[in-house]
Amino acid sequence: MKLSERTKFIKPAVTLAIAAKAQKLRSQGVDLINFSAGEPDFDTPERIKQAAIGALKKGMTKYTEVRGIEPLREAIAEKYRREYNVHYDKDDVLVSCGAKHALYNVFQAMLDPGDEILIPAPYWVSYSDMAYLAGGVPKILPTTEETGFRITPQELHKALTPRVRAFVLNSPCNPTGAAYSGADLKALGSVLEGHDCLIFSDDIYEKIIYDGFRFENLLTVNPKLRDRTVIFNGVSKTYAMTGWRIGYALGPAPLISAAGKIQSQSTSNPTSIAQAAALEAIRGPQDEVETMVAEFQRRRDVIVERLGSIPGLTCFNPQGAFYVFPNILRLLGKKANGKKLASACDFADYLLEEARVAGVPGEDFGSKENIRFSYAASLEDVEKGCQRIETAIKKLG
Ligand SMILES: Cc1ncc(COP(=O)(O)O)c(C=O)c1O
């Protein structure tokens, strides 16, 4: 069968494929530690579920406005005014079926064939495929552990050629957990001021931060960039609502309206009752978020310490999100059950087979020498998983 040209460039999201494989093994009774999940292992808070139930009972089961219900868009705009002193109106907000969908719509609305989009690596798996789907050309800008997986202003300046139409900023970052401080953002903002490109700020892990790190938005530190910045966020990670599929974009009204037009010809509105739940999530008390983050921090401390003590691994200490991205370079070339480990993919396969631990190889995040482990798993599983990884690594020849 002849498939469209654009499908040839893209891969299925590897993170979802591995999570599905892990789930299948578990359903077959395999005692598996799943460090591949990109979602909190906590349940959606009860008050949020009740809001959805209430909406159902009230008959909120019809199409809504394509861009999302007005109270939700107003609540999102209000959140950014209150928390970050960043001023948007409800008409500057597009609510979509997850932040992924909001990104997709904006990429489609803003990129023309051949437009370059600058993506610092390691990066979240979907940016480059979404760029391809919009006819764009991803330009990868590598970062190193030495600079905390953050690009420096000098590197950004060098990479911003006139062909670059958009720049992606993801802090805290999936997969590294690296986060940019206000001072870092100020320095990057000064560079961006001198180059007329769009800025896509993916803030989805904004609340999952540790050790008192203060999350800042690029526009709080540099409001001059407002007219060409789009902020992406959603309720998936902060409120353990991945399955509800609500995310959003905030940006200048003409751009948001163009992205809304794309949405109107694909999904129409995101699910009505999920929007009611998201409204409660954003407007209601935020204590559950703090409890969840405190638990993530306990797990991060354990996993970083345990992995870092395994000979052959080094483990960067993330400031946010719920992933670690240990470096496995010193293990590559070693033999596992008589076979040479040639790549992070080989190492991930070995861990799955030998240790029954699922992780996501770094290749799809733009790094050949790392593996991503998610600690959205109980502390007991985190400890058990680290023990299994250590035992498996000790068997390498
Ligand atoms: C960096 C980043 N951005 C966006 C998303 C999309 O989140 P959602 O579509 O669930 O809102 C994810 C999910 O894994 C992510 O890690």
Question: Could you tell me which residues are beta bridge partners of residue 279?
Answer: none
The correct CATH number of 5-43+288-394 out of 3.30.559.10, 3.90.1150.10, 3.40.50.720, 3.30.70.3290 is 3.90.1150.10
Tell me the CA–centroid distance for residue 237 and ligand 1, in Å: 8
H or E segment at 289? helix 287-308
In ligand 1, which atom is closest to the CA atom of 101?
9
Q: Tokens 């407007």, residue?
A: 283
Q: Tell me, what DSSP letter sits at residue 59? A: T
Q: Is the CB of 247 under 6 A from ligand 1?
A: yes
Give pLDDT tens digits for 55-91: 999 999 999 999 999 999 999 999 999 999 999 999 9
In the β-sheet with 360-361, what is the strand arrangement from edge to edge?
323-324, 371-374, 360-361
Q: Which residues, other chains included, contact 178 with Cβ-Cβ below 8 Å and sequence gap of 6+?
A: 143, 148, 149, 150, 171, 172, 316, 318, 319, 320
Quote the Cα angle for 38-39-44, to 5°. Answer: 170
d(Cα 316, Cα 327) in Å, to the nearest integer? 8
Q: Is the CB of 126 under 6 A from ligand 1?
A: no
CA distances (Å), 325 to each of 145, 148, 317, in order?
Answer: 10, 12, 9
CA distances (Å), 314 to each of 11, 237, 309, 390, in order?
Answer: 29, 26, 8, 13
Q: Position 247: which residue type?
A: G
Q: Is the CB of 367 under 6 A from ligand 1?
A: no
Tokens of 274: 């999920």
Predicted local distance difference test score (pLDDT) of residue 354: 93
Tell me the CA–centroid distance for residue 209 and ligand 1, in Å: 16
d(Cα 98, Cα 117) in Å, to the nearest integer? 21
Helix then strand count (H, E) for the chain reads: 14, 14
CA neighbours closer than 13 Å in the CB half-sphere of residue 165:
18
d(Cα 115, Cα 53) in Å, to the nearest integer? 44
CA distances (Å), 69 to each of 63, 151, 181, 244, in order?
Answer: 10, 37, 33, 16
Q: Is the CB of 203 under 6 A from ligand 1?
A: no
Q: Is the CB of 124 under 6 A from ligand 1?
A: yes
Tell me the CA–centroid distance for residue 269 and ligand 1, in Å: 19
Torsion sign (Cα): 249, 361, 179, 381: positive
Q: Where are the domains of the chain?
A: 5-43+288-394, 60-283
Q: Is the CB of 263 under 6 A from ligand 1?
A: no
Name the residue of 97, 124, 230, 235 to mutate for ligand 1: max ligand atoms within 8 A of Cβ: 124
Helices marked H in 325-395: 344-350, 379-394
Q: Which residues, other chains included, contact 27 with Cβ-Cβ below 8 Å and sequence gap of 6+?
A: none
Is the Cβ–Cβ distance between 328 and 350 less than 8 Å? no
The pTM assigned to this predicted structure is: 0.96
Predicted local distance difference test score (pLDDT) of residue 256: 97
Rounded to 10°, the helix 99-110/126-133 angle is: 40
Q: Tokens 């798996």, residue?
A: 125
Q: What is the distance, to the nearest Å, from the Cα of residue 236 to the centroid of all Cα atoms in its chain?
A: 10
d(Cα 39, Cα 19) in Å, to the nearest integer? 10
Going through 148-246 in order, the beta strands assigned E by DSSP cover 164-170, 198-202, 229-234
Tokens of 180: 């940019």
Q: What is the distance, to the nearest Å, from the Cα of residue 211 to the centroid of all Cα atoms in its chain?
A: 20
Give pLDDT tens digits for 263-294: 999 999 999 999 999 999 999 999 999 999 99
Domain 60-283, what fold? Aspartate Aminotransferase; domain 2 (3.40.640)
pLDDT tens sequence for the chain (397 residues) = 999 888 887 877 777 777 788 888 888 999 999 999 889 999 999 999 999 999 999 999 999 999 999 999 999 999 999 999 999 999 999 999 999 999 999 999 999 999 999 999 999 999 999 999 999 999 999 999 999 999 999 999 999 999 999 999 999 999 999 999 999 999 999 999 999 999 999 999 999 999 999 999 999 999 999 999 999 999 999 999 999 999 999 999 999 999 999 999 999 999 999 999 999 999 999 999 999 999 999 999 999 999 999 999 999 999 999 999 999 999 999 999 899 999 999 999 999 999 999 999 999 899 999 999 999 999 999 999 999 999 999 999 8
Predicted local distance difference test score (pLDDT) of residue 377: 95
Question: Could you tell me which residues are beta bridge partners of residue 152?
Answer: none
d(Cα 377, Cα 286) in Å, to the nearest integer? 22
Q: Is the CB of 202 under 6 A from ligand 1?
A: yes
Q: Is the CB of 299 under 6 A from ligand 1?
A: no
Q: Is the CB of 320 under 6 A from ligand 1?
A: no
d(Cα 215, Cα 236) in Å, to the nearest integer? 18
Q: Is the CB of 242 under 6 A from ligand 1?
A: yes
Predicted local distance difference test score (pLDDT) of residue 26: 86
Q: Whose CA is nearest to atom 7 of ligand 1?
A: 99
Tell me the CA–centroid distance for residue 173 and ligand 1, in Å: 10
Q: Is the CB of 204 under 6 A from ligand 1?
A: yes
Q: Whose CA is nearest to atom 16 of ligand 1?
A: 174
Give pLDDT tens digits for 127-157: 999 999 999 999 999 999 999 999 999 999 9
